[in-house]
Structure formats: C-alpha cells, structure tokens
Amino acid sequence: MFPAPVSAISHSLILLRHGLKTLGLDADRNPLRWVNANGLMERDVMTSSLFNLEEADVVASVVSSLFRSIPPNQIMVLAPYRKQVVVLREKLPSTVTTFTVDEVIGQVRPVVDVSLVRSERSGPNAKNHGVGFLKEPNRVNVLICRAKEIVIPVGSRNHFHNSRISF
C-alpha cells in the first residue's frame, strides 16, 4: 500500500521549512529570530516620518540571504513608518512585498521580516528615543502575526529591551 500523495500546499510547506532550516532558521523551535541592528534613526523633514538607512541595509541583506532557499513570494517585509517602507522598496527587489503596519491588514506570508526603525542612535531631527507606534499592542500584534512560519524582527535589541516592549 502506498501513502497518500502529498498535496501541493503540504509539499510547499515542506520545501519552505527545509529552506528555513538550511539557513539556520527552525520555525518549529524558534518562530521568532531577532537580528540586531543599531542604525541611525532619522526623521524625514518633509513628512516627519521616521527611517533608518543602516537598518534598511541589514533588512536587504537578510532578505537576500533568504532568497538562497525561499522564493520571494514567500517573504514579506513590514515597517511601522511610511518613509522606512519607501527606503526599503528602493533597496529590495520589486518581487518582495513591503508594507507599513497599517497597509498589511489581511496579508500573510510564511516569512515576515520586520524593520523596527527605532534605535538608541538618532539624528538631529529624530530626538525621541521612545518606541512610537510600537507602544500600541495591536500594532505589534499585526507585525508579528502576519507570518505563517517565522518572523524576523530587525532592530536595536538594546533599545527595545530597555523600553520593555517584548517580542
């Protein structure tokens, strides 16, 4: 007797999980994998939206690494600030879906990379060292619940640890 055929969805999930494991990411053991980035947080003088160029470079590097084992349509990048999304869209291939937390309602992907933007380091126009939008639990919930398998927050570990926001 032969086993039942594996459905296309199950097969895709098996391939995705294998791809994650080849990258050292095990969604079964640790569905959240923090990447530390303590870039300079800046404020756009035209829109007053925050952005972090160094962190965007780290996100682009993480996404590039994911491409070795995971198709781009399985990855989504989120950020709490419009200007950071603009920066990320310039650095990432157009095949990677990138949204603000307010735009992402109803969207899910197996892998979600979250650019948190806030940092201990800030430019002259971005003196607020708080956590901004991320003090709202429902926004944090949206950021981390868009992932079916694994969420990869990228941000200043010390800043968020000191702010008592937990992921």
Beta bridge partners of 113: 77, 152
Mean pLDDT of 73-81: 93
By percentage, how much of the chain surpasses pLDDT 90?
Answer: 32
Alpha-carbon distance of 62 to 69, in angstroms, equals 12
Joined together, the tokens standing for residue 128 give 């607020």
- Spell out the domains of the chain, with CATH numbers in brackets: 28-163 (3.40.50.300)
3-state secondary structure of 1: coil
46-65 per-position pLDDT tens digit: 999 999 999 999 999 999 98
Mean pLDDT of the chain: 80
Listing DSSP states for 47-113 in one string gives T--EE-HHHHHHHHHHHHHHTTTS-GGGEEEEESSHHHHHHHHHHS-TTSEEEETTT-TT--EEEEE
Side by side, the strands of the sheet bearing 35-36 are 35-36, 147-155, 109-115, 75-79, 97-100
Q: Please check whether residue 167 is in contact with residue 32, taking contact to mean a CB–CB distance below 8 angstroms.
A: yes
User: What's the length of the chain?
Assistant: 167
Lowest mean pLDDT among 66-80, 114-128, 143-157: 114-128
Pick from 123, 163, 140: which is nearest to 78 by CA? 140
pTM, rounded to two decimals: 0.80
